[in-house]
Amino acid sequence: MLTEPSRPQWAGEFAVCPKCGADGGFHLVLERMHESTEPAAKAYLKCPSCKELFDIDIKLLLA
């Protein structure tokens, strides 16, 4: 990962960037997890305006 992601605190919907206030939603970024025994990826949200990366603590099992 190029930048250290921040861990957002939210309840309900996470649609506004806490860093810059942009309210247009986020891009989804997937990073392959090489330490996993099964093919997996970690999901992040990236603000399209300020480029802040958020760790949303979601891991995906890849088919």
Domain borders along the chain are: 27-61
What mean pLDDT do residues 1-27 have?
A: 85
CB-based contacts of 44: which residues, under 8 Å, 6+ apart?
Answer: 1, 5, 28, 29, 30, 31, 53, 54, 55, 56
pLDDT score of 37: 78
What predicted TM-score, i.e. pTM, was given to this entire model? 0.80
pLDDT score of 48: 96
